[in-house]
Amino acid sequence: MVGLKIGLDIGTGSVIAAVENKGVVLSEPAVLAIERETGEVIEAGKKACEMTGRCPDAIKLVRPLLSGGISELESSEKLLRCFIERICKNKIFKPTVVATMPAGITNLEKRNILGCVLRAGAGRATLIEEPLAAALGIGVMTDKPYGTMIVNVGAGTTGVGVITMGSIAVAKSAAIGGDDMDRVIRTYLKNNRGVNVGKLTAEELKSLIGGAKMREETIAAVAKGKDMADGMPLFFEVTAQEINFAIRDCVDEICKAITDVLEVTPPELVRDITDDGIFLCGGMAKLYGLDKYIEEATGIKVKIPGNATNVAALGCLRALNEENYLSSNGYHFVTLETLNV
């Protein structure tokens, strides 16, 4: 293979890319700013995200990656093309890409994701399940009959998988994540405080004072919003207790996805998981107290690996560097020509 080798974690909230011998080279919000009339891309990633709630009518902001999949084919292709071009710059040969997909998606959904990756600039591509990619990124052994549970909580999905001998034994993808928490925070403040806040403000409140469990100390934050009574801007104080109450149902849904997988996992693998613990990763792994909340719900110790946000992209790269691993586990590369056959 002549082109670059890229491990690509395609998530609802962000796209993370790792390149051979360089590690993670790109971590950008999955947001695209498009001119409404022409469809021309104005910005992609962080600069587009900064326009949220601030752009004129002539510009449309698009978040085309829904629940870790592809919701708008054309916009998704444009977004991925921008990122792949940033990584490859002016290189002549097209890259080889291993990208993530949610566990349990349909063949049509797989085909849509592969088609977008290939039309965005990849020469060859294949997909692996997100929990498996995260397990490989953590460093799980691929040749041992030993069960490992991975919980990957992102912006749009929570992927739960039990890995043994380098493949998935049991997996579930639940449509719940950080974006849902942002949404319920906005709804709570609107219904209970009479204040309208934007998505970015809700996300900041979640990161600063939100949590799955209450802190020992009482903390609060001052935020900016819009008074729904008179439409005027205002500063208001919100407590951690309010934010935790707002996102409680989302946290419970994440825990339910984990317990659902444990219920159908074979006993020997459950024993391994109990011995080794559950690995929590993804962008929402850093939510205060989420690891302890899961421990209480399952009775199993939860570990957060270093660099938890990037493990899926690094796992895709590891799979790509061990190409025999991919073929021996049923993952095969396709090109645009073979995809359409």
pLDDT in tens, 115-174: 999 999 999 999 999 999 999 999 988 778 999 999 999 998 999 999 999 889 999 999
Which pLDDT score is estimated for 67? 53
pLDDT above 70 covers a percentage of the chain that reads 97
Q: Which residue has the tokens 């997996």?
A: 171
Task: Tell me the C-alpha distance between 133 and 85, whole Å.
Answer: 23
Residue 30 reports pLDDT greater than 60: yes
Task: Tell me the C-alpha distance between 193 and 103, whole Å.
Answer: 38
Which pLDDT score is estimated for 2? 63
The secondary structure of the chain in percent helix, strand, coil, rounded to multiples of 5, reads 40, 25, 35
Give per-residue pLDDT as tens, 227-265.
Answer: 999 989 999 999 999 999 999 999 999 999 999 999 999
- Range with the poorest average pLDDT among 61-65, 83-87, 88-92, 157-161: 88-92
CA 8: distance to chain centroid? 11
Q: How confident is the model at residue 339 (pLDDT cuts 50, 70, 90)?
A: confident
Task: Tell me the C-alpha distance between 115 and 100, whole Å.
Answer: 14
Q: What is the three-class DSSP state of 34?
A: strand
Give per-residue pLDDT as tens, 179-234.
Answer: 999 999 999 999 999 999 999 999 999 999 999 999 888 899 999 999 999 989 99
Side chain identity at residue 184, one-letter code: V
Instruction: Compute the mean pLDDT over every residue in the chain, rounded to the nearest whole number.
Output: 91
CA 294: distance to chain centroid? 19
